[in-house]
Each structure stands twice: as C-alpha cells, then as structure tokens.
Amino acid sequence: MYLPALPRLGADFGAPASAAQLTVSACLVGLGLGQLVAGPTSDALGRRRPLLYGVVLYAIASVAAGAAPSLGLLIAMRFLQGLAGAAGIAIARAVVRDLFEGREVARIFSLLMLVTGVAPIAAPVLGAQVLRFGSWRWVFLLLGVIGLLLAASVAAWLPESLPPALRRSGGPREAARVFRALTGSRPFMGYALTLAFTFTMLFAYISGSPFVFQTQFGISAQAFSFVFAANAAAIITGTQVSARLTRSVSPHRLLIAGCCLACAGAALLLVAAVADLGLAAFLVPQAIVVGSLGVIMPNATALALLPHPREAGTASAQLGALQFAVGAVVAPLTGLRLGSPAVAMAVVIAAAAVAGFLAFATLAGLRPTAPAPEAS
C-alpha cells in the first residue's frame, strides 16, 4: 500500500532507494516466519485467540511504523507488522479447513482469493490516493485503523472453529515433527511448490510492472492505475469462474486447467516482450497470467490442506512460508538486465509458470490420487 511512497520515504530519511526497499523485504521475511509460528500455535490453542492477538499486534506495529523517527526503527516495525499479520494468512486458511470438506473447501478458498489475490494489486492504487492527502505516515496509520477494525470483527463475530478435542499438544517439538512429515509428503510438496511458483508470478508482476509500463511503455501514473485495476478484475474473474465450477469439476482438474492457462499466457507474454509487439500485445497475456492465479491458488490450497484436518494450521503455515520465501527470492530477478524491463519480467513469469506446472506434475501427479494420510 505504501509502495508509491517509497521514493518520498527514502528522501525523508536521507536514505538511498536500496535502503528504503529493505522496509519491503523486512515485512516479507516477517510474513514468512510469522506463519511458521502462528499455524502450529493455532493447532495447539485453537484459532480464535492466536488470530486475535496477531491482528491486535499488527495494528500496534502499523501505528508505530507510521510514527517511526528513523529508517532503522521503521524497518523493525515493518518486520513486526509482517510477523503479526502472518497470523491472519495462516489461520484464516486453517479456519476454512476446519469448517468445510471436499469441493466446498476449494469453493470457499476461491471466495477468499477475492481478498488475498486482489489486495496486493489494489493496495498500491489505494495507497496512491491516500498520498494525495498526506505523507507516507498516513498509510501506516490507516493500516493501524484497519487492524483494529479486523480485531473488533474477530472478537465480535468469529467463533472458535477448532474444538479442544481436535487440538494438538507437544509444543515446538511436535510442530517440527509435523513440518518434517509434511515436507516428506510428495503430494503436499507438489501443491505447495505449485502455489509458491505461481504466487511468484504475482510478485514478479507487482515488482516489475512500474518499470515496464511507466518507464518502458511510457504510460502515465493514472493509466498505470487502470492497468492494475484491469488485472485485479482478471483475478476476480478467475476466482469466480473457479468458485462456480467447483460444484461440477474436481479441484484437481481445475488446477490442471489453471496451470495450463498460466503457461500459455506466460508464453504469449514472453513472445510479446522479446518481439517488442507493443503495449496492447503485452497487456492481454499479462491479464491471462494474473487471471490464472484465481484458478490455481484456491484449488492448490484446498488439495494441499484437505488430507490434513488435524494439522491444518501447521500445513497452512508451511504453504504460506514457502510462498513468501520463493517469491522474495525470485521477484527481484525482474530487475536483471535482459534487454528490457518487459523481457526481464516476462522471463521470470514464464520460468515460474513452467516450474509450478512441473512441480505439480512430478510430485502431486496429473492424475487424481487417494487422499494422503494425516501427518499424525
């Protein structure tokens, strides 16, 4: 949400752009590590309390980030923001697995993608509007308010979804054992890596698109916001199509279709970039790639979590941590000099699409298999 303010933020602290970028990296590291704590904790203590504490701490860290007197403290608060906010990511998925079975899990995850998929695309647009009225500090204050509203919503309306009889005990040692068991499961890792690599396509798009559309193609900031809005519409379309089809098509077949759509869109994007076919030829396959995420992510998540109801929090944490780890490592590759920003972004997206499909095909398998046993 504060990405449009990064240059101004760096100038306020007298820091180079690379130092300001550390505020983004710190949050991503926190989001990855935080899920590894929040997921197993929710398996042991239930979902409601860890989620509530995490969201409250997120709100506090957001306000503290907005008031940070130095770049070092801002980086620390961004890390804490990610660490606390990770509870929302990991535990929300676990709650869905607690409450639903079979194809309903995939349908509900498709609905959740309206938030988890659209938010990273829409946030910079909203942040730019906030910056019209105030400094980058206002963005963090607004995030603090949003955090408090979420905490109030959890306290008022979210019941406990994991009864005491189904909770796990054993502390960190038990959590580590479950992590090892999940890592050793070929189907789980197949779906997890498919999620991680395809999520990287979104990271690559978000991090590379300002340079592609504004620097290379020379469009205005206002037109750039329309491009972001169009891709948000694409991912919404993908999630809604997936949600409707889950009643008649298995999540496994939908995942195959989503991966094929991503690879086809990525191939067209690469051709458009290398051949320098222009803005319009680049926008269409970009929308196909982003729209495919609305099909891939909910179905891969559902297939990964369905066989693991008793360790849904831990499994969700492992999915999320892997997503952010791979995304944080691969997305900066869009800055490589490969002829043009468009070619660099297209190469990363195409490689991620192919890697995701191969992970799915070789580890999970293109043919549906019987559910894997729980890691108990």
Tens of pLDDT, residue by residue over 238-271, are 988 988 898 888 899 999 999 999 999 999 999 9
pLDDT single digits (tens) 72-127: 999 999 999 999 999 998 999 899 889 988 888 888 888 887 777 677 777 877 88
Backbone φ/ψ region at 100: left (φ over 0), alpha (ψ -120 to 50), beta: beta
Q: How far apart are CA 134 and CA 36, in angstroms?
A: 35
pLDDT of 371 higher than 60: no
Least trusted range by pLDDT, from 13-27, 80-94, 302-316: 13-27
Nearest to 282 by CA among 219, 198, 336, 355: 219
**Which sign does the torsion angle of CA 38, 40, 45, 48 carry?**
positive
**Which sign does the torsion angle of CA 190, 196, 197, 198 carry?**
positive
8 A C-beta contact, residue 120 and residue 346: no
Distances (CA, A) of 130 to 5, 21, 139, 367: 10, 20, 7, 48
The arithmetic mean of pLDDT across residues 221-239, rounded, is 81
Least trusted range by pLDDT, from 2-6, 80-84, 182-186, 274-278: 2-6
Predicted local confidence at residue 335, as pLDDT: 60
DSSP string, 267-290: HHHHHHHHTT--HHHHHHHHHHHH
pLDDT band at 342 (very low <50, low <70, confident <90, very high): confident
The arithmetic mean of pLDDT across residues 188-209, rounded, is 87
Q: How far apart are CA 18 and CA 10, in angstroms?
A: 9
CA angle 308, 352, 252 (to 5 degrees): 40
Higher pLDDT, 281 or 333: 281
Predicted local confidence at residue 78, as pLDDT: 94
Predicted local confidence at residue 109, as pLDDT: 84
The arithmetic mean of pLDDT across residues 295-315, rounded, is 89
pLDDT of 47 higher than 90: yes
Predicted local confidence at residue 374, as pLDDT: 47
Sorted by where each starts, the structural domains of the chain and their CATH numbers stand as: 3-160+169-364 (1.20.1250.20)
Backbone angles phi, psi at 367, to 5 degrees: -100, 135
Give the pTM. 0.81
pLDDT band at 329 (very low <50, low <70, confident <90, very high): confident
Alpha helices in the chain (DSSP H): 6-13, 17-45, 48-66, 71-99, 103-116, 119-130, 136-157, 171-183, 186-209, 221-245, 251-274, 279-305, 312-330, 341-359
Quote the mean pLDDT of the chain: 86
Rg (CA), the chain: 20
Higher pLDDT, 57 or 201: 57
Predicted local confidence at residue 259, as pLDDT: 95
Let me know how long the chain is: 376
pLDDT single digits (tens) 139-180: 999 999 999 999 999 999 999 999 998 888 767 777 888 888
Distances (CA, A) of 41 to 93, 100, 315, 318, 325: 14, 21, 12, 13, 20
Q: How far apart are CA 56 and CA 223, in angstroms?
A: 36
Predicted local confidence at residue 214, as pLDDT: 74
pLDDT of 205 higher than 60: yes
Q: How far apart are CA 305 and CA 298, in angstroms?
A: 11
DSSP string, 67-89: T-SSHHHHHHHHHHHHHHHHHHH
pLDDT of 55 higher than 50: yes
Predicted local confidence at residue 373, as pLDDT: 44
pLDDT band at 369 (very low <50, low <70, confident <90, very high): low
pLDDT band at 322 (very low <50, low <70, confident <90, very high): confident
8 A C-beta contact, residue 70 and residue 15: no
